Each structure stands twice: as structure tokens, then as C-alpha cells.
Structure 1
Amino acid sequence: MFELSQNFYFDAAHTLDRAIETESSKRIHGHTYNAEVSVRGERDPETGMVLDLGELRKAVEVVRLELDHRFLDDVPDLGAPTLENLCKFIQNSVRRQGIELYRVAVWRERSGDRCTLLPS
């Protein structure tokens, strides 16, 4: 069994209504987000690949452009701009392009926050 991954990053701003750190969260602020998507499977005996990495990079570029330099509050189908919702949004975007992901992770290096989605 193999796992192939592709990393990317995007810069985006948002607000967030939450019960803690309310003042700073409600103001527009931004982050550099890092993300990683992974597929899992056996390699095709003819191609030697689980998935052509070019296809995965193409799917990643589509979702990156949906998020990069955006105000996340206004991104359709994202919901509240939480790490959890970003993971789900990335999974759904890549799925619409015909690729099922094994794992999606989104993190903010500077703050040490990370979320990982293991789709069922």
C-alpha cells in the first residue's frame, strides 16, 4: 500500500465568531495556511503509479486558487473558516475533480495549529 502526498499553501483573511479570544477573532485577520492532501492505494502494474502526481498537482492548484488571497468568510460552501471546514472544503474540491483523498491536513505553522481529516 502506498500513500502519495502533495503540499501547498495559501494566504487568506477571515473573521471568526468564537467564545474565546473573541476580540481578535472577530476582527479581520489573516494567516498563511499550509495544506497536504494524500491518496492511498496500490500502484498500477502498468504505470507503476497509484495516481499520476500531475493529476494531483492539477487538482491542488484548482483548490489553492479557490482559497488563496481570499476573504474566507465569503468563499461559497466553506462555512465558518475553521481548520476543520477548510479540510472538508479541500476534500470536496478535489473530489469534484475525480480524486478521492485518503487524508487532508491544514495547519498554520506560526501558531502551531493543525487539523487532519481522515475521510471515511
Structure 2
Amino acid sequence: MAPSSMARVAGRASPEAPIDLVQLATNTLGNRDLEVQVLHLFKSQSRLTLERLESETDTAARMDLVHTLKGSARAIGAQRVATACESLEGNMKTAANAPTERLVAAVDEANGYICDLLEG
């Protein structure tokens, strides 16, 4: 089994980090290769989800997109993304076209951090 990302980025993980590396390592059983795959998948999925969210007009479909992204974010320890999704889900119940800026910012931050982890 390859060492987890926690060992590789010792000192760079912090409570303020957009990805909880302990949560990621726990969910991937410390398998570094799996961590890398999951992070790549999240980056790809989150970008596609935001694109679809922007163009989607059906409220139920928009809520499904946000809900799916929330689950993915929780799986990798991207709590700010999950929290932004949760907030947006609540806002979409009263305003179908609720603003997504907070979610976009959280996803951008998480994906930037993922790029740093994978390229660093």
C-alpha cells in the first residue's frame, strides 16, 4: 500500500485547508493511489457539475446536481464545498435560480488545493 497524502504533505495540512486530508485518508483506507484517483474524479466532476448547473433550467435537476456534488465533497473531506452545497439546496427551495457564487468559490478553492497536492 502506498503512503497516504498525509505523510506527503506533512505540515501543509491545516484546519483551514479546503480538503480534510485525514477524512480523505480515512475514506480511502490510506491508499495513496486511490486518493489520487478520487481527487482527480472530484476535480473533473465538480467542474462539469458547475457547468451543468449554470445551463440547467429544471429546478429538480439543479437540486440533484448540487446534492450529488455535496456527497462527493463530503467523501473527499471538502467541507466548505459541502456546506456551500447545503446552503444552496436550502436557497433553491425558495428561489430556483439562487446565486451559486459561494459554491463556485468553494469549488475553485478546493480544486486549486487538489492541484497543489497532486503537482506538489
| Common topology (TM > 0.5) | no
Q: Normalized per residue, which structure has more helix?
A: 2
TM-score of the aligned structures, taking structure 1 as reference length: 0.32
Q: Normalized per residue, which structure has more strand?
A: 1
